[in-house]
């Protein structure tokens, strides 16, 4: 069994690679829910849905989020009656939000709903939220403290970042299946996907018990760099690092995880950083433009993990 920790788009690409190279039912993806928010009275869970769509192969490859072949009638009419239209929701995507909202209100766990949905989509990997409890990423900026989607979508990441908060994290319990998976004897490795360290991985680590479980885990834990050639592939990772006064370098990401990871996968464009990373490093082409790329990187990560497993 392999566990992958992932945010949305970038992380989902490697999760898909792992999904395609591993036997059925041998992958568990633990997903950031710090991006979740209540919008239009609905519980929106962007990263969970991105994972399900990406693993099922029905994601929209152009936008990176949402479904392929989507229609947009709902948003058009909503805007026409004066509803909030800054967060775009496709008609098919909306089915998950409406049904999730209804079932959570009826007392169902977010994990149960998500597991049901990924099965309905024919996905043979577990897709688990980091917690069933609400944890909400807040971005402290020069324009004030913004809810994550307000920062990310409405303000298009323009405000200058000064820090992050994960509201609710203190009281949140980790998803029971996540802790159990981290303790399972059949666990071979934990892979941190190349997701944003601040707003994708850190929210997962903010849930009490998860960071300690990773540090105490019997299997090797490796992270794949979200920095490629001294920049982020997509999204605000590099901008955030600059604004926080960090060097935009893979080594700075590795250092953030140093207390619980056993190895780091560096992009070949950043190979010169290897000497500055105080742990085993594997060098790969980490750009994933196609499923072939995703499978190749997944294979390389699994190969790297096996060399570490022998030494832990």
Q: In angstroms, rounded to a whole number, what is the distance separating the alpha carbons of residues 274 and 188?
A: 24
Nearer to a copy of itself, 99 or 295 (CB): 99
DSSP, collapsed to helix, strand or coil, labels residue 287 as coil
Least spacing, CB of residue 117 vs a copy of itself, in Å: 5
Instruction: For the beta carbon of residue 288, count every other beta carbon within 10 angstroms.
Output: 21
- With vertex at residue 205, the alpha carbon angle to CA 46 and CA 58, rounded to the nearest 5 degrees, is 25
Nearer to a copy of itself, 60 or 165 (CB): 60
Burial 25-50 (b: 16+ CB within 10 A, else e): ebbbbbbbbbbbbebbebbbbbbbbb
Least spacing, CB of residue 263 vs a copy of itself, in Å: 38
Least spacing, CB of residue 77 vs a copy of itself, in Å: 4
Q: Are 111 and 174 in contact (CB under 8 A)?
A: no
Least spacing, CB of residue 133 vs a copy of itself, in Å: 20
In terms of DSSP bridges, do strands 281-284 and 263-267 run parallel, antiparallel, or are they unpaired? parallel
Q: Are 130 and 203 in contact (CB under 8 A)?
A: yes
Nearer to a copy of itself, 81 or 310 (CB): 81
Nearer to a copy of itself, 40 or 252 (CB): 40
Question: Residue 278 half-sphere exposure, CB side, CA atoms within 13 Å?
Answer: 7
Least spacing, CB of residue 134 vs a copy of itself, in Å: 18
Least spacing, CB of residue 75 vs a copy of itself, in Å: 8
Nearer to a copy of itself, 76 or 289 (CB): 76
Nearer to a copy of itself, 18 or 117 (CB): 117
Q: What are phi and psi of 71, to 5 degrees?
A: -115, 165
Nearer to a copy of itself, 118 or 249 (CB): 118
Which residues, listed in sequence order, are joined to residue 165 by a DSSP beta bridge?
A: 138
Q: Which DSSP string corresponds to 85-98?
A: -SS---HHHHHHHH
Least spacing, CB of residue 69 vs a copy of itself, in Å: 8
- In Å, the largest CA–CA distance within the chain is 62
Chain residues that interact with a copy of itself, rule: CB under 8 A: 40-42, 67, 70-71, 73-78, 80-83, 90-96, 98-99, 101-102, 105, 116-117, 120-121
Q: In angstroms, rounded to a whole number, what is the distance separating the alpha carbons of residues 51 and 31?
A: 8
């Amino acid at each position: 069994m392999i566990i992958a920790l992932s945010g949305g788009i970038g992380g989902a690409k490697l999760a898909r690679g792992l999904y395609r190279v591993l036997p059925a039912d041998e992958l568990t993806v633990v997903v950031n829910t710090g991006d979740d928010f209540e919008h239009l009275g609905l519980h929106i869970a962007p990263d969970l849905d991105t994972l399900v769509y990406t693993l099922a192969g029905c994601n929209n490859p152009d936008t990176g989020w949402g479904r392929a072949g989507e229609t947009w009638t709902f948003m058009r009419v909503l805007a026409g009656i004066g509803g909030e239209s800054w967060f775009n929701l496709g008609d098919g995507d909306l089915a998950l939000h409406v049904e999730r909202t209804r079932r959570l209100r009826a007392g169902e766990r977010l994990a149960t709903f998500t597991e049901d949905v990924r099965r309905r989509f024919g996905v043979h990997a577990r897709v688990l939220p980091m917690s069933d409890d609400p944890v909400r990423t807040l971005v402290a900026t020069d324009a004030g403290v913004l809810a994550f989607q307000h920062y990310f979508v409405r303000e298009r990441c323009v405000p200058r970042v000064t820090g992050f908060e994960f509201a609710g994290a203190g009281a949140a319990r980790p998803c029971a299946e996540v802790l159990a998976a981290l303790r399972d004897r059949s666990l071979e490795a934990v892979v941190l996907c190349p997701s944003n360290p601040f707003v994708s991985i850190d929210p997962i680590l903010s849930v009490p018990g998860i960071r300690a479980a990773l540090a105490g885990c019997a299997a090797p834990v490796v992270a794949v760099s979200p920095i490629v050639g001294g920049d982020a592939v997509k999204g605000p990772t590099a901008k955030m690092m600059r604004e926080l006064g960090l060097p935009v370098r893979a080594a700075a990401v590795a250092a953030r995880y140093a207390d619980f990871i056993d190895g780091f996968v560096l992009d070949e464009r950043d190979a010169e950083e290897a000497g500055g990373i105080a742990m085993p490093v594997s060098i790969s082409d980490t750009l994933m433009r196609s499923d072939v790329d995703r499978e190749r990187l997944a294979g390389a990560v699994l190969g790297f993990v096996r060399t570490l497993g022998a030494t832990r």
